[in-house]
Amino acid sequence: MIDLSRKRVMVTGGDGFLGKYLCQGLKERGCRDVFVAEKDQFDLVDAGAVKRAYRESSAQVVIHLAALVGGIEANRKSPGKFFYDNLMMGVLLMEEARLAKVEKFVALGTICCYPKYTPVPFREEDLWKGYPEETNAPYGMAKKMLLVQSQAYRRQYGFNSIFLMPVNLYGPHDNFNELTSHVIPALIKKCFDAVKQRKEAITVWGTGKATREFLFVEDAAQAILLATEKYDKADPVNLGAGFEISIKELAGLIAELSGFKGKIVWDATKPDGQPRRMLDTSRAFEEFGFRAKTDFREGIKKTIDWYRSKQIES
């Protein structure tokens, strides 16, 4: 077990949505030496910037959260960039960590690594049984290469790296940009805008039949920290809450809690994405004792309340 309070820790993406919660969790564990490789200071697709990050941080532990992410539309518009940026960040960061003799490297994958028609619940053993869903396959495959690199480096160099696969995250401070946001913040913004503009209906992509699983961002941060402290194996690990909800049910819940009482119109000409998503989370519990704590409805309410407070401030 690693005592993080005694380690120099570098967090890529530490100034992002998940990163802010993870850095707070490190501080709560007594870790006083946290180096955040901020996006505007370190272009992690550039080898020189990655080398500089290691020189400046003298990191003993690296938690790699940084990623180029977005919803279905963003992935469809920029598949090459989503592939290249995410692949190169991972390759460069892990190679330079090995050369710098970093004690442990924690790589964050994604549920998008899984094949399109993975049986529910998704088990880690099913990871290579097909190709990812087409709209986010370049992103998913780029992230999946982190697992390949991690396992290869462990075999050849004895390098201690682990690979974690979280489901979609949500919570206060999420990305509400309508061009790049994921489904929960996108729906919240859509409902708030409709109430403000007194619209009688909102239009949502797809049929509403697809299912998703979501993990509250505070729970995700705790899961990653537990794995950093306690998990040292080559096998990938799912991070989730162990439930699934249809997009139609999700939209209804968000409309209710946002105060939107109008009609939800489904645009079936737009893609649903992967048909179903839900993880088997037993390995995370067995290996490092993680189990999600936040009730989904309560988590959505907290997210909406935070967004409402920001609307009032602005």
pLDDT of residue 39: 87
Residue 236, preceding peptide bond in cis (omega within 30° of 0)? no
Residue-level pLDDT at 75:
83
Set out the domains of the chain in order of their start, with CATH numbers: 4-170+215-243+276-294 (3.40.50.720)
Residue 126's contacts (CB-CB under 8 Å, 6 or more residues apart) are 114, 115, 118, 119
pTM, 2 dp: 0.95
Taking each helix axis as running N to C, give the angle between helix 137-157 and helix 79-99, from 0 to 180 degrees, rounded to the nearest 10.
20
Classify 135 as helix, strand or coil: helix
Cα torsion at 102, 162, 82, 115 (round to 10°)? 160
- Pair 173, 181: CB distance under 8 Å: no
β-partners of residue 12 are 37, 64
The Cα-based distances of 265 to 4, 59, 268, 282 in angstroms read 49, 50, 9, 37
Supply the pLDDT for residue 314. 63
Distance CA 164, CA 171 (A): 19
- Token output for 181: 């946001």
Q: Which two tokens stand for residue 254?
A: 């968000």
Residue showing tokens 């039949």: 209
pLDDT tens for the chain, 314 residues long, are 999 999 999 999 999 999 999 999 999 999 999 999 988 899 999 999 999 999 999 999 999 999 998 877 888 899 999 999 999 999 999 999 999 999 999 999 999 999 999 999 999 999 999 999 998 999 999 999 999 999 999 999 999 999 999 999 999 999 998 778 889 999 999 999 999 999 999 999 999 999 999 999 999 999 999 999 999 999 999 999 999 999 999 999 999 999 999 999 999 999 888 899 999 999 999 999 999 999 999 999 999 999 999 887 76
Q: Alpha-carbon distance 82 to 141, whole Å?
A: 10
Torsion sign across C-alpha atoms 27, 224, 66, 94: positive
pLDDT at 17: 95
C-alpha dist (Å) from residue 64 to 139, 185, 200, 262, 277? 16, 23, 43, 42, 24
Task: Enumerate the active-site residues.
Answer: 139
Q: What is the pLDDT of residue 15?
A: 94
